[in-house]
Amino acid sequence: MKFQLKRLWFQILTFFSVNLGALGIKTGFCVPLFYCHACPAASSACPLRAMEKSVYKGHFAFNQLLYPILILGFFGTITGRAVCGWACPIGLLQRATSGPARKLKKYSIVKKIGSYKFEPYLRYTKYFMLIGLVFVSAIFIGFMFTDVCPIGVLTGTIPIIILNPYKFVPSSFFWPAIGIFILFIMLIFLVERGWCRYFCPIGAFLAPFNKISMIHVDVDQEKCVHCNLCSINCPMGIDVPNMQRDPECILCGKCINVCPRDAISYGRF
Amino acid sequence: MKKLFAVQVSLLLIISVSFVGMVYYTDIYDVIQGGIVEVLCLSCIKLYPLTSTDFTFETGTGEPHPDFILESLREGPIFLHYSEDACAACDVMFPSVLKFLNVEPKKDKSYYKLTSFNDKPVNYYYIYLDDEATSEEWLHTFEIYDKDHIHGLPMFSVVTINYAHSGIIEPYYTTLYGQLEDNDEQRIEYFGELMEEAFVLYDENLPGFIK
């Protein structure tokens, strides 16, 4: 329990760190997580925007593409997707909605949403979002992801409207983006970590790093009795006893905490 | 196990060295800071600034108008057009401004031309923020004429002259932001009305300004 409290403190600390722009600290780094630089308090850039900008309409800026990739790659190589579970402010938001999402699971219709046969395939959507919406559309059409990004609505649009009530008017993308934002809110209340599981392009970028990351979650098959307590508690819906450096694992450590046989632990290297 | 460890360490070394090298030897840090973090991304917030065409004497930073602006005002009113790399709304507005003032800048190069509108002279400055050749003095006007402190692109400023409360004729400007109107014709009409207003003030106050 103490361990999860530490994780919460770390998430809160990161939330304040990415909002140091409120104190006038605006850096030239990209955050290795999902947070919009359009937020009035944001201190660094969204890596997806830098990637989109680097390939915008076929105009290729190699350094702008490589820069966020190196930042994400650095964290990915060390911790895999731990950034999602330990640092991302949207992860913190989904941590807050995971309680209601678990309670709603007792309704059969909600339970079905997260347990359909095609659910594992739905997880590939985030890779499509990364390649299709962030890169391909930016090359051939223009900015599509940032135009409708629900995180932009949450951290950029809403605070700006509140802080400057009569200074802005909706653009043509405003209402479609609001529609997507409402779906995003519904999703995170219906499916625990629904955004991380299915749609987050940053999660898609970091996921393959789980296969080689220095820190990962290990299951000792000799100790494991397959009680499945770990899987039941896993916010990402992973079959924990059978996982081998699963790309979906966000290293939150909930499985480690609930395992009655201490069969699960963080592995290094 | 050893193989994986070697992969991890090699990858981390390559990434770290490349990252430090990029930050140290290239201008990427400034590009991200100036081009993404410090400029309000209008497409990210899905909003456009509520543009008011009201003219004002007070600059966005409180600084005096730059010398090249004062110099250009001797020829006629000024139209400042700001743009940057990878800005969807800038791309939409660019051809409209070209048609409006009959100018032909390259999209990624800052440019100046003494052009005309309705047979009256207009100083057209196209200031492309990502063009390294753009002078600091030109770039700084992006702050000076950011009337509503939006710090977003595209941005257009019209500078003319008017009689100030101080009793002297001073530069008088307005600034518009974002994608305006629905099509080229509407935008040209919109800018045209603004320029007409600028010409009226300019003609009324020119004798006092030159003196």
B198 confidence band (pLDDT: 50, 70, 90) = very high
A1 confidence band (pLDDT: 50, 70, 90) = low
Q: Which residue, A45, A53, A44, A67, is CA-closest to B22? A: A67
B210 confidence band (pLDDT: 50, 70, 90) = low
Q: What are B162-179's pLDDT values in tens digits?
A: 998 778 899 999 999 888
Burial, B91: exposed, middle or buried (Cβ in 10 Å; 0-12, 13-18, 19+)?
middle
Chain A / chain B CB contacts < 8 angstroms: 147
Q: Is the peptide bond before B154 cis (omega within 30 degrees of 0)?
A: yes
Q: What are B55-106's pLDDT values in tens digits?
A: 999 999 999 999 999 999 999 999 999 998 888 889 889 999 999 999 998 9
Q: Does the beta carbon of B181 lie under 8 angstroms from any beta carbon of chain A?
A: no
Q: What are A35-54's pLDDT values in tens digits?
A: 999 999 999 999 999 999 99
Under 8 Å between Cβ of B161 and B73: yes
Q: Which residue, B5, B18, B15, B2, is CA-closest to A216? A: B5
Nearest CA in chain B to A75: B12
Residue range A76-102: mean pLDDT, rounded = 95
Look at B208 and B174; give whichever has higher pLDDT.
Answer: B174
B37–A42: do the CB atoms touch at under 8 Å?
yes
pLDDT above 90 for B161: yes
CA distance A241 to A263: 9
pTM for the model stands at: 0.86
Amino acid A4: pLDDT: 92
B85–A149: do the CB atoms touch at under 8 Å?
no
A37–B41: do the CB atoms touch at under 8 Å?
yes
Q: Does the beta carbon of B5 lie under 8 angstroms from any beta carbon of chain A?
A: yes
B211 confidence band (pLDDT: 50, 70, 90) = low
Write the DSSP assignment of A200-254 as a string of letters: -HHHHHHGGGGGT-SEEEEE-TTT-----HHHHH-TT---GGG-SS-TT-----H
Q: Does the beta carbon of B20 lie under 8 angstroms from any beta carbon of chain A?
A: no
Amino acid A167: pLDDT: 84
One-letter amino acid for residue A13 of the chain: L
pLDDT above 90 for B153: no
Q: Does the beta carbon of B24 lie under 8 angstroms from any beta carbon of chain A?
A: no
List chain B residues with CB under 8 Å of A49.
36, 41, 44
Q: Which residue, B160, B163, B167, B166, is CA-closest to B197? A: B160
List chain A residues with CB under 8 Å of B31.
28, 63-64
CA distance A95 to A81: 15
DSSP designation for B174: E
Domains of chain A: which residue ranges?
Answer: 2-215
Report the Cα–Cα distance between both ends of chain B, in Å, rounded: 83
Residue range A150-172: mean pLDDT, rounded = 91
